[in-house]
């Protein structure tokens, strides 16, 4: 982060820094000092919020950072905030953008500007976290202005220009700044920034609202129901505004050049002066392709490259002018508009040339680099050579094609790892009987259960000492018969899959974590319906289990509650590792007060997470699920007993099981002392072991009665992530946390005593 | 570094103008941070240009990871983003990686200097890595890190800086300070010592391309399935094939050792093991004479060395020992998956 001074006469001082695209986006946001960032973490954009949160803890800015319950919630936070008269920022990627999609036309259609960084990534499924443009191109037609930032320097520059464009009174639209996931977001580069944030603030100017929801002296109605006489007029008005943005963008680009010395055009034309063949390509791949242009120019070929900085509004006139003398053009898209014979840019460029009397440009569309597939200089060379060939012959041999796809080796035969689990291998160890209205479990003997094969296999990629694979394996040991598991996105899903590998012996299905419970509902009901129709034997038995992290019960809480309300026969098992550990330990709502995560940093200006931990188990209990419980691997026989009971109660409806699951990496606990750490969480009554059977609460292990109850500080001191909780300045937070644990524990004890509570 | 520097020229560079470094490591050893430090040292400390990045993905502790640094002269633009295939310096942070990853691919005699964190001599290292030839540097980074109470990455940065022939000591020292100084001031003395020892103690030897081992070019991943052969939709029918993976590279020196004479067959280890390494079979219990599940041993192919089991084992049948002092092939007991 250090800097070396550079002064250019007549311009504000700029300094050099070494940052990646995400960090530099955060730096721009810090310098602008937005009012609000509403966000939800998703790779590879997460680091923007993390960096800003860490800066906030150090007192470097006043941006109010608000984590949503999901991207849809985050978009709602941003929308609300933008109606209330201030400057708003968000960053996301891939399915995060799609989850917020429904809000995008709301934001643009009601004309509230904000800036949204899209760190581009391929859209699931299958789930791939790396870069392509399938996310941003799905948002092309939502009424937002779209700037494309080709490298980290552009990420900084465009983030400073973006609010000025969006807030211009002739535009008043939200704006995207899109840059390539990982290639741009995660590579450390040399970047020049303004030394004095005031320069940036002066350039952007104060936020001037057109309407405000928080001004009682001037009340407004935002979001009227609007019928057909009016709606089309609203859209025409909006359509004109986004077209006007073309001129505003050019003006702001010029103004920015004046203070920065860095020039941007709506189309960057690289060696296009006399080019007869060219490549039209976006962002980081375009930078790589310039090397190819240089190489072919050395051979004497008249080739060039067109790279748009602005794709909405689409700069039609500039594209036509740029292609005036180009005979052969390859348009390469890092996404596909399936069934449309080309990606988004291919379609736009073809449309731009449509109807031009003197058009000489023949176009071949290429789809490349999907899901982060590397794009090498030689790939660009091949594309340019094809453009040269088209220019020479005047013919396009292949109108639309994929580059870099592999047909595969037909002789490859996957080696067999296992036979399917037989009935005998998974039954006959545990029995559950109902006696006097209570379930009695026999056979939860660890030694005997070593005979039962793990349903998760050896060879998975979890960290050494991982609590979730140990806990979920223990849970599955308690289940008799065949299972089908649905895994939410998260650590468990990532480390047990990874094409073409599978770490599962029984059928596994993934869906994104905002929708797992609904998905499994569908599986369960199809199984039942096919049984009713005689397509599946009526004696066939499968236990359906959804496995989620605690994060999946932030974003996916709604569908889980919906499933409980519908009484499907399934188990929801949550491994609670206290944060979004798969993506680098961001705050989840189960993180306790004062604790430090990468989005609730502890520092002189921020004292970790500001709210208490969510009591997910009690939420499910309040839904009158037939069975909810909490269990921990420190008490393994209790855990297995609860798995067996959960399976039995799942015959009545959705049951909920919460397992506290140690994350050695995020909790910063030495792997070998995993069990004592979990035991301390239990003994401090932070994580009581209890169950609620048809509404009746039973505490299964009472540390108080056994003389083992410890203050919560005893648990906190076992973890690196919470050591700061014992600092003198955290005394008040620690006391509040202890008081909350005590309150919940006392309440639980009363529930244990009284079957009506 | 507040003063601007004189322009530094690179001693060697590739066609695009870069001096390139590739680091092969596992998550947790700090290769990514090492890359960031070297990038900062070059750009801010020495006024050059460049890029620093790591292989992209879910970075779990113990999984193989690559970090890359590209350095170029101040006026050269960095326009490519692809990983480094034929590096000028190839730094291998973790010896055991060669079991799972083709770490030496692209190591080119006459161009690449390989640096290995090892106790081996350069000759032993050459045979261990089966290098076709070229310069090989060895450094016992683990031991230096232990002695200085620092980390492996500091030692490796020192060694890389030395071998590069252009990294200025002051710039590297400054970049380390900039990364850690404020936050971890108490560790700085050790870090600086580790850095210096890496710089001074790396031993290099040049080997001719004598035909002893074949040159291994860098090969880009070729997927097992392609668009003509893969079942549609990414559906997999080969369940549980992760068991073919070798996870022993996750270990960093210590393993659990089982003394069956002390085992009481309680099953605690089996349930606490996140990697399902314990091999049990039906048999006759030597104590009770009855039929029951008997622990046979540990399948070390999957053991990541977390040592949870050594902590949970009440009778003390499982104890932590140094892996280097054991013959893993002899003590491992393989799972029987296909019966």
Helical residues (DSSP H) of A394-462, grouped into ranges: 423-426, 446-449
pLDDT of residue A3: 52
- Judged by phi (left if over 0) then psi (alpha if -120 to 50, else beta), residue A336 lies in beta
pLDDT digit string (tens) for B189-228? 999 999 999 999 999 999 999 999 999 999 998 899 999 9
Claim to verify: residue B201 and residue B268 sit in the same structural domain: no
Sequence-ordered list of residues with C-beta below 8 angstroms from that of A532, at least 6 positions apart, any chain: none
Chain A interface includes B63 (CB < 8 A): yes
Contacts of A473 in chain B (CB under 8 A): 271, 274, 276
DSSP string, A127-168: ---S--SHHHHHTTTSS-EEEEE-SHHHHHHHHHHHHHHHHS
Helical residues (DSSP H) of B21-89, grouped into ranges: 31-40
Contacts of A122 in chain B (CB under 8 A): none
Number of C-beta neighbours around residue A364 at 10 A: 22
Any domain includes B274:
yes
Q: Whole-angstrom Cα distance, residue B108 to residue B123?
A: 17
Tokens 């973490």: give the residue. Answer: A41
Chain B interface includes A325 (CB < 8 A): no
Asked if B140 and B224 touch (Cβ cutoff 8 Å), the reply is no
Chain A interface includes B276 (CB < 8 A): yes
Q: What is the mean pLDDT of residues A434-463?
A: 95
What distance lies between CA A45 and its chain's CA centroid? Answer: 8
CA-wise closest residue to A204 among A243, A154, A168: A168
**Cα–Cα separations (whole angstroms), residue A654 to A433, A569, A616, A754:** 19, 6, 14, 24
Any domain includes B221:
no
Claim to verify: residue B24 and residue B123 sit in the same structural domain: yes
**Cα–Cα separations (whole angstroms), residue A215 to A211, A212, A221, B86:** 9, 6, 12, 63
Tokens 């046979």: give the residue. Answer: B296
CATH number, domain containing residue B249: 3.30.70.20
Contacts of B247 in chain A (CB under 8 A): 459, 461
Name which of B83, B234, B239, B247 to mutate to probe chain A: the one with the most chain A Cβ atoms within 10 A of its Cβ: B239
pLDDT < 70: residue spans in chain B:
1-6, 57-59
- Judged by phi (left if over 0) then psi (alpha if -120 to 50, else beta), residue A139 lies in alpha
Claim to verify: residue B193 and residue B257 sit in the same structural domain: no
pLDDT of residue B58: 62
* CB atoms A407 and B229 under 8 Å: yes
The answer to whether residue A444 scores a pLDDT higher than 70 is yes
* CB atoms A671 and B338 under 8 Å: no
Any domain includes B3:
no
Domain residues for B103?
19-207
Interface confidence: ipTM more than 0.85: yes
Handedness of CA B149, B151, B155, B161 (dihedral sign): negative
pLDDT digit string (tens) for A701-732? 999 999 999 999 999 999 999 999 999 999 99
pLDDT of residue A1: 44
Give the residue from B163, B183, B207 where a domain finishes.
B207
Claim to verify: residue B88 and residue B168 sit in the same structural domain: yes
Q: Whole-angstrom Cα distance, residue A381 to residue A383?
A: 5
Sequence-ordered list of residues with C-beta below 8 angstroms from that of A718, at least 6 positions apart, any chain: A669, A673, A676, A677, A680
Any domain includes B230:
no
Claim to verify: residue B87 and residue B196 sit in the same structural domain: yes
pLDDT of residue A437: 82
Any domain includes B225:
no
pLDDT of residue A2: 47
Asked if A552 and A512 touch (Cβ cutoff 8 Å), the reply is no
Architecture of domain A267-402: 3-Layer(aba) Sandwich (3.40)
List % helix, strand, coil for chain A (3-state, nearest 5).
40, 20, 40
CA-wise closest residue to A680 among A703, A700, A699, A657: A703
Claim to verify: residue B185 and residue B245 sit in the same structural domain: no
State both tokens at A191: 């970047």
Asked if B174 and B5 touch (Cβ cutoff 8 Å), the reply is no
Helix A21-32 and helix A197-204, axial crossing angle in degrees, nearest 10: 70
Q: Whole-angstrom Cα distance, residue A116 to residue A183?
A: 19
Claim to verify: residue B304 and residue B187 sit in the same structural domain: no
Domain boundaries, chain A: 4-207+227-260, 267-402, 461-753
A-B contacts at Cβ under 8 angstroms: 285
CATH number, domain containing residue B142: 3.40.920.10
**Partners of residue A92 on adjacent β-strands:** A118
pLDDT digit string (tens) for A472-502? 999 999 999 999 999 999 999 999 999 999 9
The answer to whether residue A5 scores a pLDDT higher than 60 is no
Q: Name the residue with higher pLDDT: B183 or A465.
A: A465
Contacts of B274 in chain A (CB under 8 A): 462, 464-470, 473
Claim to verify: residue B169 and residue B296 sit in the same structural domain: no
Q: Among partner residues A182, A457, A463, which is closest to B61 by beta-carbon distance?
A: A463
Q: Which fold has domain A4-207+227-260?
A: Rossmann fold (3.40.50)
Give the residue from B157, B183, B207 where a domain finishes.
B207
Q: Among partner residues A125, A447, A463, which is closest to B266 by beta-carbon distance?
A: A447
Asked if A660 and A667 touch (Cβ cutoff 8 Å), the reply is no
Claim to verify: residue B73 and residue B170 sit in the same structural domain: yes
CA-wise closest residue to A634 among A660, A606, A609, A666: A660
Residue A693's Cβ-count burial label (10 Å; 0-12, 13-18, 19+) is: middle
Helix A197-204 and helix A228-260, axial crossing angle in degrees, nearest 10: 140
Element spanning B310, H or E:
helix B308-312
* CB atoms B56 and A182 under 8 Å: yes
The answer to whether residue A756 scores a pLDDT higher than 90 is yes
Would you place residue A640 in the very low, low, confident or very high pLDDT band (cuts 50, 70, 90)? very high
Asked if B51 and B70 touch (Cβ cutoff 8 Å), the reply is yes
Query: How far is the alpha carbon of B306 from chain A, nearest alpha carbon, in Å?
Result: 5
Any domain includes B97:
yes
pLDDT of residue B2: 40
Any domain includes B4:
no
Element spanning B44, H or E:
none
pLDDT of residue B1: 47
pLDDT digit string (tens) for B109-127? 999 999 999 999 999 999 9
Give the residue from B183, B207, B231 where a domain finishes.
B207
pLDDT of residue B100: 86
Q: Among partner residues B234, B276, B312, which is closest to A499 by beta-carbon distance?
A: B234
What distance lies between CA A130 and its chain's CA centroid? Answer: 12
Q: Which residues of B77-93 are buried (b: 16+ CB within 10 A; e: fewer)?
A: ebbbbebbbbbbbbbbb
Please state the φ and ψ torsions of residue A707, each to the nearest 5 degrees: 70, 25
**Pairing label, strands A362-367, A400-402:** parallel
Claim to verify: residue B263 and residue B138 sit in the same structural domain: no
Residue of A nearest to B310 (CA): A672
Q: Name the residue with higher pLDDT: A389 or A438.
A: A389
Tokens 């289940």: give the residue. Answer: A479
* CB atoms B227 and A405 under 8 Å: yes
pLDDT of residue A8: 66
State both tokens at A756: 């009506």
State both tokens at A338: 């399936």
Weakest-pLDDT range from A356-360, A562-566, B271-275: A356-360
Name which of B52, B248, B271, B299 to mutate to probe chain A: the one with the most chain A Cβ atoms within 10 A of its Cβ: B271
State both tokens at A648: 């039995």
Asked if A542 and A483 touch (Cβ cutoff 8 Å), the reply is yes
What is the overall mean pLDDT for chain A?
Answer: 96
Claim to verify: residue B75 and residue B173 sit in the same structural domain: yes
Claim to verify: residue B198 and residue B145 sit in the same structural domain: yes
Chain B, 107 to 136: residues with Cβ < 8 Å from chain A are none
Asked if A118 and A131 touch (Cβ cutoff 8 Å), the reply is no
Strands (E), A661-702: 689-693, 696-701
If one counts the domains in chain B, the total is 2
Report whether CATH 3.60.130.10 matches the domain A461-753.
no
Q: Whole-angstrom Cα distance, residue A30 to residue A56?
A: 9
List % helix, strand, coil for chain B (3-state, nearest 5).
30, 20, 50
Chain B interface includes A8 (CB < 8 A): no
Number of C-beta neighbours around residue A430 at 10 A: 22
Contacts of B223 in chain A (CB under 8 A): 406, 408, 500
CA-wise closest residue to A358 among A390, A393, A327: A327
Q: Whole-angstrom Cα distance, residue A652 to residue B102?
A: 53
- In CATH terms, are A267-402 and A461-753 the same topology? yes
């Amino acid at each position: 982060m250090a800097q070396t001074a550079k002064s250019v006469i007549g311009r504000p001082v700029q300094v050099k820094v070494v940052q990646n695209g995400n960090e530099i986006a955060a730096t721009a946001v810090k310098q602008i000092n937005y009012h609000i960032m509403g966000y939800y973490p998703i790779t590879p954009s997460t680091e923007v919020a993390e960096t800003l949160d860490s800066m906030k803890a150090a007192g470097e800015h006043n941006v109010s950072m608000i984590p949503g319950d999901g991207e849809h919630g985050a978009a709602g936070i941003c929308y609300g905030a933008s109606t209330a008269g201030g400057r708003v920022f968000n960053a996301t990627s891939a399915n995060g953008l799609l989850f917020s999609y429904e809000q995008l036309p709301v934001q643009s259609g009601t004309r509230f500007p904000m800036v949204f960084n899209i760190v581009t990534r391929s859209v699931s499924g299958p789930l791939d976290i790396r870069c392509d443009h399938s996310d941003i191109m799905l948002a092309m037609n939502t009424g937002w202005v779209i700037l494309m930032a080709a490298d980290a320097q552009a990420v900084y520059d465009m983030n400073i220009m973006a609010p000025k464009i969006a807030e211009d009174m002739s535009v008043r639209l939200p704006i995207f700044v899109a840059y390539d996931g990982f290639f741009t977001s995660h590579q450390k580069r040399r970047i020049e920034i303004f030394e004095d944030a005031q320069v940036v603030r002066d350039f952007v100017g104060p936020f001037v609202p057109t309407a405000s929801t928080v001004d009682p002296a001037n009340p407004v109605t935002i979001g009227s129901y609007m019928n057909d006489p009016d709606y089309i007029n609203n859209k025409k008005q909006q359509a004109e505004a986004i077209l006007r943005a073309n001129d505003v963008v050019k003006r702001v680009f010029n103004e920015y050049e004046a203070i920065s010395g860095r020039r941007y055009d709506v189309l960057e034309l690289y060696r296009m002066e006399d080019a007869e063949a060219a490549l039209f390509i976006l962002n980081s791949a375009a930078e790589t392709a310039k090397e190819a242009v240089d190489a072919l120019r050395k051979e004497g070929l008249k080739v060039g490259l067109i790279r748009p900085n602005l794709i909405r509004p689409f700069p039609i006139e500039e594209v036509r002018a740029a292609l005036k003398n180009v005979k052969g053009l390859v348009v390469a898209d890092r996404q596909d508009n399936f069934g449309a014979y080309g990606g988004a840019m291919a379609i736009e460029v073809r449309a731009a040339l449509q109807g031009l009397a003197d058009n000489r440009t023949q176009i071949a569309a290429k789809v490349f680099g999907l899901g982060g597939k590397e794009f090498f200089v030689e790939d660009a060379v091949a594309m340019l050579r094809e453009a040269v060939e088209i220019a020479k012959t005047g013919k396009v041999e292949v109108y639309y094609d994929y580059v870099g796809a592999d047909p595969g080796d037909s002789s490859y035969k996957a080696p067999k790892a296992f036979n399917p689990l037989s009935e005998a291998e998974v039954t006959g160890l545990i029995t559950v009987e109902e006696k006097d209205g209570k379930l009695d479990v026999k056979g939860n003997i660890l030694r005997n259960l070593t005979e039962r094969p793990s349903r998760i296999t050896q060879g998975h990629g979890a960290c050494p000492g991982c609590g979730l694979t140990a806990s979920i394996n223990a849970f599955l040991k308690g289940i008799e018969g065949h299972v089908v598991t649905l895994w939410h996105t998260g650590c468990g899903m990532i480390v047990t899959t990874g094409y073409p590998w599978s770490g599962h012996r029984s059928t596994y299905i993934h869906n994104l974590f905002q929708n797992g419970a609904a998905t499994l509902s569908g599986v369960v009901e199809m199984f039942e319906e096919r049984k009713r129709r005689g397509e599946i034997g009526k004696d066939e038995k499968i236990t359906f289990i959804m496995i989620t992290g605690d994060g999946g019960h932030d974003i996916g809480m709604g569908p889980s509650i919906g499933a409980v309300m519908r009484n499907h026969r399934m188990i929801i098992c949550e491994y609670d590792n206290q944060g979004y550990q798969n993506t680098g330990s961001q705050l989840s709502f189960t993180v306790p007060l004062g604790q430090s995560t990468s989005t609730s940093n502890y520092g002189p200006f921020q004292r970790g997470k500001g709210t208490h931990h969510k009591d997910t188990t009690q939420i499910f209990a309040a839904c009158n699920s037939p069975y909810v419980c909490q269990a921990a691997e420190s008490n393994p026989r209790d855990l297995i007993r609860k798995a067996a009971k959960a399976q039995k109660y799942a015959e009545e409806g959705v049951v909920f099981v919460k397992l506290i699951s140690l994350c050695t990496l995020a909790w910063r606990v030495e792997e070998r002392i995993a069990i004592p750490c979990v035991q301390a969480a239990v003994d401090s009554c932070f994580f009581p072991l209890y169950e609620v059977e048809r509404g009746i609460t039973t505490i299964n292990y009472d540390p108080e009665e056994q003389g083992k109850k410890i203050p919560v500080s005893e648990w906190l001191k076992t973890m690196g992530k919470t050591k700061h909780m014992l600092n003198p300045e955290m005394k008040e937070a620690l006391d509040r946390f202890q008081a909350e644990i005590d309150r919940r524990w006392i309440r639980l004890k009363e529930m244990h005593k009284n079957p009506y509570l | 570094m507040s003063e601007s520097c004189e322009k530094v020229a690179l001693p060697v560079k590739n066609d695009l103008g870069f001096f390139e470094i590739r680091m092969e490591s596992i998550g947790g050893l700090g290769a990514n941070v090492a890359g960031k430090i070297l990038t900062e040292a070059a750009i801010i400390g020495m006024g050059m240009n460049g890029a620093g990045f790591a292989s992209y993905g879910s970075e779990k502790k113990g999984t193989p990871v690559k970090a890359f640094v590209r350095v170029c002269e101040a006026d050269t633009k960095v326009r490519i983003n692809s990983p480094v295939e034929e590096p000028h310096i190839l730094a291998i942070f973790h010896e055991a990686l060669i079991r799972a990853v083709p770490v030496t691919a692209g190591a080119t005699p006459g161009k690449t200097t390989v640096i290995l964190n090892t106790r081996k001599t350069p000759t032993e290292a050459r045979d261990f890595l089966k290098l076709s030839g070229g310069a090989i540097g060895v450094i016992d980074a683990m031991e230096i890190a232990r002695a200085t109470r620092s980390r492996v990455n500091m030692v490796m940065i020192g060694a890389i800086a030395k071998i590069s022939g252009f990294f200025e000591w002051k710039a590297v020292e400054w970049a380390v300070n900039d990364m850690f100084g404020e936050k971890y001031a108490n560790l700085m003395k050790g870090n600086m010592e580790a850095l210096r020892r890496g710089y001074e103690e790396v031993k290099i030897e040049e080997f001719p391309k004598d035909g002893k081992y074949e040159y291994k070019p860098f090969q880009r991943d070729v997927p097992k399935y392609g668009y003509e052969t893969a079942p549609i939709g990414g559906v997999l029918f080969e369940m549980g094939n992760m068991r073919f993976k070798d996870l022993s590279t996750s270990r960093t020196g210590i393993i659990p050792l089982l003394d069956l004479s002390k085992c009481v067959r309680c099953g605690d280890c089996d349930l606490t093991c996140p990697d399902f390494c314990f091999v049990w079979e039906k048999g006759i219990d030597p104590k009770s004479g009855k039929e029951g599940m008997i622990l046979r041993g540990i399948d070390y192919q999957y053991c990541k060395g977390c040592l949870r089991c050594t902590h949970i084992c009440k009778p003390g049948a499982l104890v932590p020992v140094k892996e280097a002092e054991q013959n893993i092939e002899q003590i491992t007991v393989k799972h029987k998956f296909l019966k």
